[in-house]
Structure 1
Amino acid sequence: MEQPKRLSRLKTTALPTSLSDHAAAFDRLHPQVQRWVRAQGWSQLREVQTRAITAIGGHRRDVLIAATTAAGKTEAAFLPLLGAAAARQDRGVAILYVAPLKALINDQHKRLEGLCADLEIGLTRWHGDAPQGPKTRLLKSPEGVVLITPESIEAMFVRRPASVEALFGRLDAIVIDELHAFLQGPRGLHLWSLLHRIDAISHSRARRIGLSATLGDKQHAAEWLAGEGPQPEIIAVDGGGAPLKLQVRAVVEPPETSPPTADLEARSALAEIARHAHEILRGKNNLFFAGSRANVEALADRLRTLSEDGGVPNEFFPHHGSLAKELREEVEARLKEDRLPTTAVATTTLELGIDIGSVHSVAQLGAPRSLASLRQRLGRSGRREGSAAIFRGYIREPYLAADADPLDRLHLPVAQSVAALHLLAERFVEPPSGDPALLSVTVHQLLSRIAERGAQRADQLYRAIGRDGPFAAIEPGDFADLLRGLGGGEEPMLEQAPDGSLMLGPLGERLTASRDFYANFKTDEEWRLVNQGRALGTLPIVNALAVGSILSFAGRRWRAVAIDDPAKVVEVVAHRAGRIPKFDRVSGEPIHDRLAGAIRDALVASDMPAYLDPVAAQLLAEGRDMFAALDLARTPLIAAGKDTHLMTWRGSVANGLFAVLLGSVGFECETFDVGVTLLGTPSDEAAHVLGALDGCPPIETLGRFVSNLAHEKYDDYIPEDLLRRFWVKRHAHLETDVADMIRRIALALS
C-alpha cells in the first residue's frame, strides 16, 4: 500500500542491503543476464543494483535511482528491464532510453551492446550522427531498445507521425538518464511534453526510470518524473563516496605597467596558474574546467607552450562546443583509453556523464558558482577503488593599489570558494525555480502538434498542452492571448480555418520545415551595444534590464538609454563613472541565495580552512579584517568614492529585482554577486533614501520597468504583454523577500 504523499516527503534512511538481499535480487534476473553478470567478474551486485532490481521487478510504479557517479545506475535499471524485454511477446520497442547528449548515447550503446546481443535484443542509436542502416531496420521492424535525445523524439513526431505509435505505442519503460539536466530549462519542459505525448499514443503507460547523481530535491525530481502518474519509488544510495582532497590556490595579478610589457604577461596570474597546473597535473588524467571558451583556449595554449618549451609531449587539450566533433572525440578517447596522460581543459562540455573513465583530479579556474555543477564535476574523480576525489580551485585576484575599491578588499572570490566547499559538505544543491522558457516551449509544442496531426481546435490544443504539470501555469486566458498573438502580423504563425480550427500559417510552415525546429534551446543571447551609431560589440545579458541600467563593457561603464528587445540592441551613452573596476564583479552565471549567504558566513567565521594555500589564507584573513573594519555585521553600506555598495548578501535573482526597484525610484545601479552598487550616490545620501523606503511596490509595478523580456527561442513571437505577465508570475514570490530586505536595510540604517 502506498504511503500518503505527505509521509513520502519524510527523510528516511534505508538499511544497507545484506548478502541475502543481493542473492535474492540476483535470482530475479533473467538467466542470460545472470550469465552476463558472472562474465563481468562481479563478486556481487552493488547496493543500488540490488535495490533497483527488487523495486523494478516487484511493482509497476516509476522508480527514481539517485546514486553517486559510477555507482552502477545504468546496470541497476537495465539488468531487470532487459531481462523482461527478452521475455516479452508484444511487437514494438520495449525500452526507450533518453539522454541529453549524443556522446552519452554512444557511450551507453557500447556499454549495453554485449548484453543485448546475448539476449538477442535489438539496440539502436537514434540521433543525427548515428548510422542510418539500423534506423531503417527499426522502422521496418520496431523492437528492442532505442537510445535517443529529446530532439530526435520531436523529429519523429513531426516527420514520421505514422510511425510513432508503432515504435513507441507499446513501451515497457522509459529510462531518463542525467535526470537533473531536465528538471529546469527549455529541454526539461520539452521532454515533459514529449513524455505526455508518448503516454497519449500508448496502449498502456510505460513506467519511467530516472537516473541521476546530482539531485538537490529528490521529491521534486520524483514528481517531475511521474508527471500525472502515482508517486515513484525513490532509491537513494549514498555509498559514502570517495574521500575528498581539496586545495584552493590564489594568485594575485602583478602591478600594471604602462605600457604593458612581455614580462608583465609572463608574470600574470593566468601564467602562474598554468605553470603550477603544468607541473602538478602532468603524467595523469585530469579535467580542468576553465569557464568561458576564451579562458579554455588561453589556458590550453599556455599549457601547450610550456610543454613545447620544456621539450616534453603535450598532454593538455581544449574541449568546448565550438571545436569540431572529431577534436572533442579525440580528447575523450585519450581520457577513456587511459594510455597517454591527458588533461582536458573544458567549459561545461565534460560535466555530464560522457564515459571518459576515472580522472585523477578535477581543477577549476574561478570560484564555484553552482553547487550542482561542482558536485557533477567532482564525481569524475575518485572512482577507482581506494582513490580519493581531488579538487583544485585556482583563484585570480586583482592587485590592489592604495586607492582600491573597498569591495575588492573583501576578496569575495576566495570567500566564495570557501562558501561553496562548505555547502558541498552540507550536500546542498540548488533547487529548480520558475522556468522562463514555459511560453516559448508552449509555442514550439503548438506548432509541433499541428504539424503532426493537422488543424485542431483551440480547446483540443489547450487540453493537450496547457492543463497538466508545469504547463498548468498557463491559464485559459493566457492561452487565448497567446493564440491571438501568434495569429497576427504580416506573416502569421497560425491561421484559422473556416471551421474555426487552427492550422499553420506561413511563418509556422517555415519554422516547422527548418532543421533546427526540433531543438527548443538556443545559444546564449548576445545583445549588441551601440553608442551614437557606432557598434561597441556584443555581450550576454541575463539580468532584468531597464532604461537607465548600467552596463560594464570594453573597460568602462555605459548607461542604457534605449532598448530594442526584438533586435537585441541596447543604445548606450558613456556613464560619468568612467572606467569599470579592474576586478570584474559581474558574471553571466547566476548564484543562489544560499551561496550568497554562505559567502557572508565565510567572512564572519574565524576558522581557517586547511585546504587554502598560504596566499588564499592570507587573502581570506584580509577580507575578514576588512569585513570587520567596514562594520558589515551591522551596516549594509560600503562607501566607495562617489558610489555606494549595498550588501544584500542575496543571490543574482533577488539582486536583479532589487536593482529594478532602486532604478524605479531614481538610482542608477549595477548588480554584483552579493549586492547592488548605487552609482554616483554617496553613502549618506544612499542611507537617507534607503532608510525612507516603505515596503516593496507590487511586482506588477516593477515589471513595467523591465525591457529585456525575450530570452528563449520563440519569445520574439509572443506578445510582450504576455511575456511581462509571466515575468511577474515568476517573480511574485520575491515580493515578500524584497520587502523583508527593505525592512532589514532600514532597520540597520536607523
Structure 2
Amino acid sequence: MDIFRRYAPFIQDFIYRERWQSLRAVQNAAGDVLFNSGDNLLLSAATASGKTEAAFFPILTLLSEEPSASVGVLYIAPLKALINDQFERLDRLCERADIRVTKWHGDASRSAKERLIKHPEGILQITPESLEALLLHRKAAVPTLFSDLRFVVIDEIHALLRQDRGRQTFCLIERLMRLSGCRPRRVGLSATIGNPKEVGRLLAAGSGHATAIPRMEPGKEHWRLSLEHFWKTGPQSGSGERTPDDRTPALTDTLPLDTPGEAAPRGADPGIGYIFSHSAGKKCLIFTNSREECELVCQELRQYCEAMREQDHFLIHHGNLSASYRESAEEEMQRADSLKSICATATLELGIDVGRLERAFQLDAPFTVSGFLQRLGRTGRRGAPAELWFVMREEPAEARASLPEAFPWYLLQGIALVQLYAEERYVEPPDTRRLPYSLLYHQTMSTLASEGELTPRELARRVLTLTPFERIRKEEYGLLLQHLLRIDHINRTAEGGLIVGIAGERVVNNHKFYAVFQENVEYTVRTGSETLGTIVKPPPAGEKIAIAGRVWAVDEVDHKAHTVLCTLIKGRVPAYFGDVPGSIETRILERMRKALLEERIYPYLQRNAAGRLSEARTLAAHTGLKKTSLLPLGEKIWALFPWLGSYAFLALERFLKLHCKERLGLKGFTSARPYYMIFSMEVGEEEFFEILLDEAEKEFAPEELLYEREVPVFEKFDCYVPEELVRRGFARGVLDLETMLARVRGRFALQDCDRPAITG
C-alpha cells in the first residue's frame, strides 16, 4: 500500500477504475526501485504480469510531479505493432494527466512528429531504426528534444540482446545522451531473460547508473500444454502408454484431445486438419517459424473452410504484409466477440494485445526457450492458465533413408524447450561473443553523416568509446578507416578531416541503412489499388505467388519500380520471403539427447507423439546411441551425433574438414545442422576419437577454421569491412570453438541421461 499511496492521483484513479484489489509483487518491486533509488531497473516477470504498468506508474508519477522540459521518457520497442499497441494503453492512461504520447515509426503520423519537434514533451515511442534515422537526419533537434530526458524504457529487451540490433540500440542511447547532455535512467522489460546479471551489466553500461534487478518469487505457473505428432501421409504412430504418476514440475494440466473429423480437402495435411478442428469456434493464435510456412498454413486452413462449406475464419500476420493488413488483423482479434484465428510469425510473439485468446498452436518447434515462452505467454491472461498446443509434422522416411533421418528432430526439440524451462528455468543468455565489425562500419558512417567533418582522432573517440565496441582494438579501427578510404565510403578533406564519400553516400542515403539486420530486395505486391505486402524473387508474369494467405496470378512485374501486379485466384503455392533458419543453443541439443535416451514419459505428449517418441527411443537403444555418438551405417559410412548448438556444430564441421580430413580419410561429408553429420572414412571408431583428441590438443588460431581466401560475410554490412576483419569476426565471434573443443576433448561424452531431473 505504501507504493500505491506514492502513485499520482490519476494513477490511483486508474487502479480503482480497473478494480484492482492489490498491487502485484512486480509493481511493488518496480515502484521501490524507481521511487526510492537512482538506479536503472531490469524487470523480468512472467508475461501478463503487469510489467508495463509496473514501470510506467512510478515513471508517470514522477513526470507529473516534476514535468520535463523536453521529452521525458523514451520508449524503445523492437516492433511497430508493439508500439501501436502500447500507444493505445499509454495514451488512455496519460490523458487525464495531460501527458502527451507520440509514436514515431515509418507508419506513424508525420504531423504528430513535427508537433513533437516544435514542442518536445511527454513520452516518445520509437523503434531502433527510427531512432537511428532521427539522430542521422534531425541531429540539430536532438539537444532540445531530449535535454531533460529522465527515462529510457526498452521493452522486450530479450529480443534485442542476441543480435547487432541490440548493440545498435545501446549505441544510439549513448550517442543521444552525448548530444543532449542528459543522463536518463534505463528500464529494461522482458518476460524471458537468461542470465539477468549479465543483462543488468549491459543495461548499465555507459549510463552512469547501477542496475537494480528485483528478485520475485515466480509462484506456481499453470500451463495447459499439449504436444502431438503427425505423419503427413500414411498411418500415424499409434498409441503410446502414458503414466499419470510421472508429472513434470510446473506442467499442471494436460489435455485429452479428440481425433479431428474425417472431412478434409484432397491431399490434406492431417496436422493442419488437427489445428482446424481444435481452433473451430475459438479465438486462437497459430505460430509458424517462417513467413513461407505462415502463408502455406493459412492457405490450407482456408481450404478446409471451403471444403467444410464454412465461412473463412482465418487471418494472417507477418512482417512482409502491408501495415493495413497487419493492423486490420490486430483490430479484428481485439474485438471481444471475434472467434477468428490468426496465423502468425514472431511479429505476434511479443507483448501485443490481441484480445483474450483461448489457445495458441505452435507448428513444429521454435528455436529458443525464449520463443517458446513468449508464444505460450500470448494466452493465459486475466487469470486463465496459459495454453499452447505443439503440432509436429514429418514426411514419412523413404525406404533408402539413412538412420539419422529416422529420428523426429522437431519432436525432440519441442520436448527439450519445455523441459529445460520446467526443470531448470533455463532461458538463453545474451550473446556477448560477437565482434561487431559490421555494426562498427554502420555507426562510423552514421556518426560521420550526422556530425559532418571529423578528424580521425575525434571520430575514433566518438565511436570506439561506445560500449558495444569495448572489445575493438584501435589498430582494428584504423584498418577499417583505411579500407573505407580506399573504397570511397569516406574521403579525406584538404584539412585532414574525414567526411562521407560518394560511394558511402549511396549507402547512407538509402532508407535500408537504418536497419542493421539483413534484408532482401523486396517487391511491393499490389492488386488494383490495394497493397498486399512485399515478396522477394518474384516469378515472371503468368506464374503464381502466395501472400496474405491467398494465391495470386502475376499480371506484371516492374523490376525498375520493384512492384508486382496480380489478380486473386484459387489454389495453393509455396511462398518465399528470404527467411533464414534460427540458431539453436548447445543446451537445447543436450536436452534433446536426454529426451531421446531417458525412459521418462512426459505428461503433455498426446497419443501419436508418445508413440513416435517410443519408436525413436527403441531405435536409439538398438543402434547403441546411448553408448556412443558415432554410429556405423555400413560401407565405411558413419553418422556423428555431436549434440552441439548451431555455431559449435559449424566449428566441428570445419575442424573435421580442415584439421582431421587427411588422417581420417574423410570423404562424402554431408550434415543436417545442428543434428547430425554423415561421412565416409578410412578409420574405425576408436581411432576416430583418438585423432580428433590429438588434433584438439594442438594449438591453433580460430582463423585456421576458415577456408583459404574465404570471406564469410555474415552480418549486413560485412561487405564493406576489410576481409581480414570479416574473417576474424567470423572465426572468433561466430564459431563457438570453445564449446566444440570441450566436446571433442570429452570424446563427445555427455552426463548420464538417467540422472534425476532438477525440479527448480
TM bin, normalised by shorter chain, reads 0.7 to 0.9
Corresponding residue for residue 343 of structure 2: 345
5 Å-filtered alignment, 1:690-709, equals 690-693=689-692, 694-696=694-696, 697-705=700-708, 707=710, 709=712
AA matched with 2:417: A
Equivalent pair of 2:154/2:186 in contact (CA under 8 Å): yes
Task: Give the SS at the match of 2:403.
Answer: coil
Task: Give the SS at the match of 2:214.
Answer: strand
Corresponding residue for residue 574 of structure 1: none
In structure 2, distance between residues paired with 1:344 and 1:162: 43
Corresponding residue for residue 18 of structure 2: 40
Matched, 1:234 2:228: no
In structure 1, distance between residues paired with 2:463 and 2:390: 45
In structure 2, distance between residues paired with 1:87 and 1:742: 61
In structure 1, distance between residues paired with 2:742 and 2:119: 62
Equivalent pair of 2:648/2:737 in contact (CA under 8 Å): no
- The CA RMSD over aligned residues, in Å, is 2.7
Equivalent pair of 2:34/2:58 in contact (CA under 8 Å): yes
Matched, 1:499 2:501: no
In structure 1, distance between residues paired with 2:189 and 2:461: 30
Corresponding residue for residue 389 of structure 1: 386
Corresponding residue for residue 553 of structure 1: none
AA matched with 1:648: P
Q: 2:5 aligns with which of 21, 27, 31?
A: 27
In structure 1, distance between residues paired with 2:676 and 2:273: 36
5 Å-filtered alignment, 1:299-378, equals 299-378=297-376
Cα deviation for residue 596 of structure 1 reads: 0.5
Q: Which runs of 5+ in 2 are unaligned?
A: 236-261, 523-535, 538-578, 751-760
Which range moves more in the overlay, 288-297 or 190-199?
288-297
Residues 79-138 of structure 1 show CA distances to partners (whole Å, capped at 9, x for unaligned) of: 111122123255211111111111111111111112322111222111121112222221
Q: 1:726 aligns with which of 726, 729, 737?
A: 729
In structure 1, distance between residues paired with 2:284 and 2:224: 14
Q: 2:229 aligns with which of 225, 228, 250?
A: 250
Distance 1:637 1:145, change over 3 A: same
Distance 1:133 1:669, change over 3 A: same
Q: Which runs of 5+ in 1 are unaligned?
A: 1-22, 257-262, 527-536, 539-585
Cα deviation for residue 654 of structure 1 reads: 0.9
Residues 294-348 of structure 1 show CA distances to partners (whole Å, capped at 9, x for unaligned) of: 3222221121121122222222222222222222222211221132212111122
In structure 2, distance between residues paired with 1:24 and 1:726: 51
Residues 708-735 of structure 1 show CA distances to partners (whole Å, capped at 9, x for unaligned) of: 5212221111111111122232258x44
5 Å-filtered alignment, 1:190-229, equals 190-228=168-206, 229=208
Residues 131-172 of structure 1 show CA distances to partners (whole Å, capped at 9, x for unaligned) of: 122222211111111111122221121111110000012101
In structure 1, distance between residues paired with 2:674 and 2:518: 28
Distance 1:108 1:406, change over 3 A: same
In structure 2, distance between residues paired with 1:695 and 1:701: 12
AA matched with 2:646: S
Equivalent pair of 1:638/1:683 in contact (CA under 8 Å): no
Q: 1:519 aligns with which of 502, 507, 515?
A: 515
In structure 1, distance between residues paired with 2:606 and 2:748: 39
Equivalent pair of 2:265/2:303 in contact (CA under 8 Å): no
Matched, 1:105 2:83: yes
Matched, 1:603 2:605: no
Corresponding residue for residue 645 of structure 1: 639
Equivalent pair of 1:187/1:520 in contact (CA under 8 Å): yes
Cα deviation for residue 44 of structure 1 reads: 2.3
Residues 34-64 of structure 1 show CA distances to partners (whole Å, capped at 9, x for unaligned) of: 2232233222222211221222111111111
Equivalent pair of 1:92/1:171 in contact (CA under 8 Å): yes
Equivalent pair of 1:67/1:238 in contact (CA under 8 Å): no
Residues 232-284 of structure 1 show CA distances to partners (whole Å, capped at 9, x for unaligned) of: 1113445436511121111123369xxxxxx9x9686x611121111111111
In structure 2, distance between residues paired with 1:118 and 1:318: 36
Matched, 1:399 2:396: yes
In structure 1, distance between residues paired with 2:360 and 2:215: 25
Equivalent pair of 1:639/1:683 in contact (CA under 8 Å): no
The structure with higher relative contact order (CA 8 Å, sep 6+) is 2
Distance 1:402 1:146, change over 3 A: closer
Equivalent pair of 2:435/2:729 in contact (CA under 8 Å): no
Distance 1:278 1:163, change over 3 A: same
Corresponding residue for residue 35 of structure 2: 57
Matched, 1:428 2:407: no
Matched, 1:657 2:655: no
In structure 2, distance between residues paired with 1:453 and 1:252: 59
Distance 1:660 1:500, change over 3 A: same
Corresponding residue for residue 173 of structure 1: 151
Matched, 1:716 2:713: no
In structure 2, distance between residues paired with 1:317 and 1:371: 26
Equivalent pair of 2:163/2:431 in contact (CA under 8 Å): no
Question: Matched residue pairs, number?
Answer: 657
Which range moves more in the overlay, 47-56 or 738-747?
738-747
Distance 1:448 1:674, change over 3 A: closer
Cα deviation for residue 367 of structure 1 reads: 2.5
Matched, 1:66 2:44: yes
In structure 2, distance between residues paired with 1:704 and 1:479: 25
Distance 1:330 1:442, change over 3 A: same
Cα deviation for residue 373 of structure 1 reads: 0.4
Cα deviation for residue 511 of structure 1 reads: 2.0
Distance 1:303 1:451, change over 3 A: same
AA matched with 1:247: S
Residues 632-653 of structure 1 show CA distances to partners (whole Å, capped at 9, x for unaligned) of: 2222222335532111111111
Equivalent pair of 2:364/2:393 in contact (CA under 8 Å): yes
AA matched with 1:382: G
Equivalent pair of 1:662/1:669 in contact (CA under 8 Å): no
Corresponding residue for residue 411 of structure 1: 408
Corresponding residue for residue 85 of structure 1: 63
Q: Taking every aligned residue pair, what percent have the same amino acid on both sides?
A: 32
Equivalent pair of 2:174/2:466 in contact (CA under 8 Å): no
Task: Give the SS at the match of 1:487.
Answer: helix
In structure 2, distance between residues paired with 1:678 and 1:589: 22
